[in-house]
Amino acid sequence: MRPSHAAWLALPVALLSSLVAAVPSPAAYQDQQAFAAPALPERSRWRTLSGRLIGSIWGVPKADIGNAAKILKTNAQAPPHTLARYGGDVVLRFNISTAEEAKGLAEAADTLLLDVWEFSQDWVDIRLSKDIVGPLLGLLPASLQQAHTPLLRERELAQAIYDTYPSPRGSSARSHEPAHTPSPLRDRPFGPALQQNDGETNIFFTNYQPLSVIDPWMRLMASLFTTHVRKVDIGVSYQGRDIPGLRVGVHPTNGDEPNPPKRKTVLLMGGLHAREWISTSTVNYVAYSLITGYGRIPSITRLLEDFDFVFVPTVNPDGYVYTWETDRLWRKNRQQTNFRFCQGIDLDRAFGFQWDGAVTTAGNPCSESFAGEEAFEAVESKRLADWAKNETENNNVEFVGLLDLHSYSQQILYPYSYSCDDTPPGLENLEELAIGVQRAIRIAHGHSYEVLPACEGNAATTKQSKQRLWPRMEASGGSALDWFYHELKVRYAYQLKLRDRGMYGFLLPKENIVPTGKEILDAVLYFGGFLSESYGLSSAAAEGVESENSEPHVQDVAEVQEAIPAAVEEQDEVEDDWVWVEDIDIDIDPEGVQWELKRGRRR
């Protein structure tokens, strides 16, 4: 259990300032799951350290967060030190038009260990302390010094972070429970709202949900819908959590026949990158829609007769929990690296096909894209791959579709990710389906998604030459997409980057959970219809899957949306003064750290 009234102290790093950060101590998110967590949440010591190092290098003062505290509408569920960590940060979008500009920006961001959020052919979004903006601009080519606009200004970033956590119980308009209902989750998990209740919004999807709610919710789905839902475990994470999954399907062939045909299976997963919460909520939304639509919506019933779906909303459960309890913007897993100040491996760079971590992140564990020291060093990537392989070898499964959800920038990416020089065998089919999915989303919701090969979406290139602009910063080998496509022979494999296009980035407001869910549900229904046709299965025969001009499944989808009942009662939050002792006793000098970093990078 956690100590609940300890004092949060950032003890000074030797030879650096003797700063004691007095952090406001709002009641924090209450973990209701009986998970044996480490005694204290680990805080990214490197970030603290690097902030101070940069401070000492550049001679900039710590941001004054006192005023921000008064202005921000803080949310009781956000981690207590969010403001201290991000109160002085901004997100800037740089316009880039030449390879030289991109190279200059990449090198500067690398030098300063900045957090590059996303990039396209035309822009790069970078989060950084406002105090670093000046020094950064000083390192850039002259043409770039004016070519930036703030996406999230000082305080807006912190506010956007607070806004992604659920509202405190008392302030919720939907709150109709007495304030002191004891142990709601244990006594009546999601209870009464499961009754059909058409007028009510589905409360589970009005907020992002922590793992401690998602996991019992998944178990509940499995116990309520025993005819077609099973809970599956993908494996155990680095810190010992289950990577939970739901298998949805009716297995009509697995009963009597001695040698049933392989079960065609679609894998829908999210949360490889911890901070991309919309990917997790969207996996759950689509799962819920298919689960509750089975037997009531003919197209969904047929789809689940044709295919099994496996939903894995949090491939990176340790990272996801960390974003809830400690650092909203954490991306990687929580694995210890060989450099003790920088934890975590990027799961989407850690797979064993065309793994290129040795070259691209040069073994630097402090990189947000650190791929590990070797392929499959990242525990969760290895578990997912082993599970998928075992399913195909021992469990009569044939994976025919993969949708790996990420955020942000609204793109549909198809293989390969590692290189634009290698043409995937089924390119025409991949493109055709991607364009169909794009159209399905646009017709139903008016949102435009861009269709690209992942090598372009995941690595900025110049438009003319397709020359890679970000050779060092963003490796794109070792992706889950390529591994499933190439090693597991998943014919239709995609990475979807969900909303938005940069207004909020990873901090997409929760009002987008349901609209994004609907959008991707449409995409999945189109995807399923296309696959049914492609494999000559029943739902295609029954319906004649959409032609070029028809609107795919729109009516069915509207039906699904209406039919989806309110599912889950919002959890009560237990007020708790929740503060932390933090002991950073790193007995080294900054010179040493820099040396080790540089060495790491060159390797």
Supply the angle between the helices 427-445 and 554-563 in degrees, to the nearest 10: 60
Phi, psi of 49 (to 5 degrees): -65, -45
The CB-of-285 to Zn ion minimum distance in angstroms stands at: 18
User: Residue 467 interacts with ligand NAG (CB under 6 A)?
Assistant: no
- Interface segment toward ligand NAG; rule CB under 6 A; list 34-42, 144-152, 216-224, 484-492: 144-152
Instruction: Determine which residue in the list 181, 196, 197, 390 makes contact with ligand NAG, applying CB under 6 A.
Output: 390
Distance of alpha carbon 536 from alpha carbon 233, whole angstroms: 31
Number of residues located near ligand NAG, criterion CB under 6 A: 7
User: Residue 394 interacts with ligand NAG (CB under 6 A)?
Assistant: yes
- Residue 482 site contact among Zn ion, ligand NAG, none (CB < 5 to 8 Å, cut-off depends on kind): none
Q: Where are the alpha helices (DSSP H) in 173-225?
A: 184-187, 211-224
User: Residue 149 interacts with ligand NAG (CB under 6 A)?
Assistant: yes
User: Residue 56 interacts with ligand NAG (CB under 6 A)?
Assistant: no
Contact in structure between 349 and 475 (CB atoms under 8 Å): yes
| Residue numbers 394-413 binding Zn ion by CB under 5 A | 406
Distance of alpha carbon 569 from alpha carbon 301, whole angstroms: 27
Q: Which amino acid is at 217?
A: W
User: Residue 142 interacts with ligand NAG (CB under 6 A)?
Assistant: no
Range 262-279 burial, b when 16+ CB lie within 10 A, else e? ebbbbbbbbbbbbbbbbb
Between 149 and 594, whose beta carbon lies closer to ligand NAG?
149
Instruction: Determine which residue in the list 17, 67, 197, 395 makes contact with ligand NAG, applying CB under 6 A.
Output: 395
- Residue 406 site contact among Zn ion, ligand NAG, none (CB < 5 to 8 Å, cut-off depends on kind): Zn ion
User: Residue 175 interacts with ligand NAG (CB under 6 A)?
Assistant: no
Between 167 and 381, whose beta carbon lies closer to Zn ion?
381
Between 394 and 547, whose beta carbon lies closer to ligand NAG?
394
Count CB atoms within 10 A of the CB of residue 359. Answer: 13
Distance in Å from the first CA to the final CA of the chain = 41
Between 243 and 441, whose beta carbon lies closer to ligand NAG?
243
340 contact partners, CB below 8 Å, separation of at least 6: none
Between 67 and 390, whose beta carbon lies closer to ligand NAG?
390
User: Residue 17 interacts with ligand NAG (CB under 6 A)?
Assistant: no
- Residue 52 site contact among ligand NAG, Zn ion, none (CB < 5 to 8 Å, cut-off depends on kind): none
182 contact partners, CB below 8 Å, separation of at least 6: none
3-state SS assignment for residue 445: helix
The CB-of-148 to ligand NAG minimum distance in angstroms stands at: 6
The CB-of-123 to ligand NAG minimum distance in angstroms stands at: 7
Q: At which residue do the structure tokens 């540089």 appear?
A: 598
Contact in structure between 164 and 510 (CB atoms under 8 Å): yes
User: Residue 499 interacts with Zn ion (CB under 5 A)?
Assistant: no
Contact in structure between 485 and 427 (CB atoms under 8 Å): no
- Among 216, 191, 207, 162, smallest CA distance to 32 is for 216
Between 147 and 224, whose beta carbon lies closer to ligand NAG?
147
- Residue 147 site contact among Zn ion, ligand NAG, none (CB < 5 to 8 Å, cut-off depends on kind): ligand NAG
User: Residue 47 interacts with Zn ion (CB under 5 A)?
Assistant: no
Binding to Zn ion by CB under 5 A, coded x per residue (else -) over 340-379, reads ----------------------------------------
The CB-of-504 to ligand NAG minimum distance in angstroms stands at: 19
- Residue 273 site contact among Zn ion, ligand NAG, none (CB < 5 to 8 Å, cut-off depends on kind): Zn ion
User: Residue 332 interacts with Zn ion (CB under 5 A)?
Assistant: no
Contact in structure between 540 and 532 (CB atoms under 8 Å): yes
- Residue 301 site contact among Zn ion, ligand NAG, none (CB < 5 to 8 Å, cut-off depends on kind): none
Residue 390 region by backbone torsions, left for phi larger than 0, else alpha for psi between -120 and 50, else beta: alpha
Distance of alpha carbon 172 from alpha carbon 167, whole angstroms: 6
3-state SS assignment for residue 128: strand
The CB-of-225 to Zn ion minimum distance in angstroms stands at: 30
Distance of alpha carbon 387 from alpha carbon 393, whole angstroms: 10
- Residue 149 site contact among ligand NAG, Zn ion, none (CB < 5 to 8 Å, cut-off depends on kind): ligand NAG
Range 57-74 burial, b when 16+ CB lie within 10 A, else e? eeebeebebeebbeebeb
The pair of structure tokens assigned to 306 is 């044709």
Helix (H) or strand (E) holding 199, with range, is none
Binding to Zn ion by CB under 5 A, coded x per residue (else -) over 276-295, reads x-------------------
- Residue 499 site contact among ligand NAG, Zn ion, none (CB < 5 to 8 Å, cut-off depends on kind): none
Between 149 and 550, whose beta carbon lies closer to ligand NAG?
149
Burial class, 238, CB count within 10 angstroms (exposed 0-12 / middle 13-18 / buried 19+) = buried
- Among 327, 410, 381, 267, smallest CA distance to 115 is for 327
The CB-of-302 to ligand NAG minimum distance in angstroms stands at: 26
The CB-of-348 to ligand NAG minimum distance in angstroms stands at: 22
Angle at CA 98, nearest 5°, toward 92 and 104?
Answer: 60
Q: At which residue do the structure tokens 């991607």 appear?
A: 434
**Looking at 262-390, which runs of residues are DSSP E strands?**
263-269, 308-312
3-state SS assignment for residue 62: coil
User: Residue 40 interacts with ligand NAG (CB under 6 A)?
Assistant: no
Count CB atoms within 10 A of the CB of residue 223. Answer: 10
Between 363 and 457, whose beta carbon lies closer to Zn ion?
457
- Interface segment toward ligand NAG; rule CB under 6 A; list 107-115, 146-154, 261-269, 494-502: 146-154
Binding to ligand NAG by CB under 6 A, coded x per residue (else -) over 78-107, reads -----------------x------------
The CB-of-463 to ligand NAG minimum distance in angstroms stands at: 12
User: Residue 273 interacts with Zn ion (CB under 5 A)?
Assistant: yes
The CA-based diameter of the chain, rounded to the nearest angstrom, is 74
3-state SS assignment for residue 214: helix
The CB-of-211 to ligand NAG minimum distance in angstroms stands at: 21
User: Residue 147 interacts with ligand NAG (CB under 6 A)?
Assistant: yes
Site of interaction with ligand NAG (CB under 6 A)? 95, 147-149, 390, 394-395
Which residues bind to Zn ion, rule: CB under 5 A? 273, 276, 406
